[in-house]
Chain A
């Protein structure tokens, strides 16, 4: 009985967060004011972070909140406030044929994904990390990251340095 209650709560959290994330992402793409879009993007990212917790991935959930909702969206909001977008706000949203066709193709693509998901359940080589073993998820992730994936990790640090230098050089005034 106790297990049953836990599963029911998992279902409730999953359905609530799924609904919230879809609603918030819909609002992201329909709001005219980019600041509102950015704030609804934060809501989407936070609800997806709760889903990560439901999947026993505490590490990626915390990184999601800190990096995505904290750093990236903060940067986006900062740039929106630097730019003067009043003209964009006043212009009407035009219905163009290319947009309708693009949206239609995207929905067709969604049906392709849904069919692929329903048709065959995911299979593959099952690893050693059962849910009760990753209760200390951060430790397990750290061990894998610093042994098996050490080289990609170093490459990522080089990429981040390149991005920092690129951003500084781009925003420097031309002499």
Chain B
């Protein structure tokens, strides 16, 4: 009888790579700071997916714990990053990344 194969880990990892690349392209091409921030979240999420995939296919829970830590760091980053955006908007009236160039060489 013909048996359907299990989903191979390579497919999950490919999907993770595609999502990560979407995040990279967005972060490089968009100029709105909040959209760039969302693209960074997208990248973190793609990395989490590959962590959990490895965790499942190697039958170890370390990957799940690492994904949990990544989420905690992302939450901390969101709180501080969005506070910084609000501060920048208060002083510069814009959050366009091309116009925030005080530290640019």
Q: Per-residue 0/1 for B29-60: is the Cβ within 8 Å of any A Cβ (1 yes, 0 no)? A: 11010110111011001001100111111111
A60 touches B75 (CB 8 A): no
Contact of B28 among A14, A48, A102 (CB under 8 A): A102
In the complex, are the beta carbons of A22 and B32 less than 8 A apart? no
> Which of A3, A85, A122, A141 meets B64, CB within 8 Å?
A141
* Least CB distance, B44 to chain A, in whole angstroms: 9
Q: A59-B64, A79-B85, A159-B73 are in contact. List 11 more A-B contacts (CB 8 A).
A: A26-B22, A28-B39, A34-B32, A57-B56, A59-B68, A67-B71, A79-B82, A85-B95, A99-B28, A117-B14, A127-B61
- Name the one of A44, A71, A152 contacting B42, with C-beta atoms under 8 angstroms: A44
Are A34 and B35 in contact, CB atoms less than 8 angstroms apart? yes
- Residues of A within 8 Å of B13, CB to CB, are 113, 117, 122
Q: Nearest 7 CB-CB pairs, A to B?
A: A127-B60, A29-B26, A163-B76, A102-B28, A113-B17, A170-B83, A110-B21
Q: Which of B3-22 contact A (CB under 8 A)?
A: 3-15, 17-22
Selected contact of A124 from candidates B5, B41, B58, B84, CB within 8 Å: B58
Interface residues on B, range: 35 or more
Partner of B61, one of A121, A129, A160: A129
| Cross-chain pair count, CB within 8 angstroms | 231
A-B contact pairs, 6 of them (CB 8 A): A14-B7, A22-B19, A29-B30, A127-B60, A159-B73, A162-B76
| B37 contacts A55, C-beta separation under 8 Å | no
Please name all residues of chain A whose beta carbon is closer than 8 Å to the beta carbon of B58 when the two chains form the complex.
Answer: 122, 124-127
Given known pairs A109-B21, A127-B62, A141-B64, the reply for A68 and B71 (CB within 8 Å) is: yes
Q: Which of A76-95 contact B (CB under 8 A)?
A: 76, 79-80, 82-83, 85, 87-88
Q: Which of A22, A63, A75, A103 contacts B68 (CB 8 A)?
A: A63
Q: In the complex, what residues of A have CB within 8 A of residue B6's CB?
A: 7, 10
B45 touching A45 by the CB < 8 A rule? yes
Q: Does B65 contact A (CB under 8 A)?
A: yes
Closest-by-CB residue of A relative to B53 is A55
With both chains docked as a complex, state the minimum distance between the C-beta of A98 and any C-beta of chain B, in angstroms. 8
Knowing A10-B7, A34-B32, A126-B60, say if A64 contacts B71 (CB, 8 Å): yes
Q: Are A38 and B4 in contact (CB under 8 A)?
A: no
CA distance A152 to B83 in the complex (A): 26
> Which one, B26, B48, B85, B89, contacts A28 given CB within 8 A?
B26
Q: Which A residues are in CB contact (< 8 Å) with B24?
A: 106, 109
B89 to chain A, nearest CB (A): 5
Chain A 128-155 per-residue mask, 1 if CB under 8 angstroms from chain B, else 0: 1111001001001100110001001000
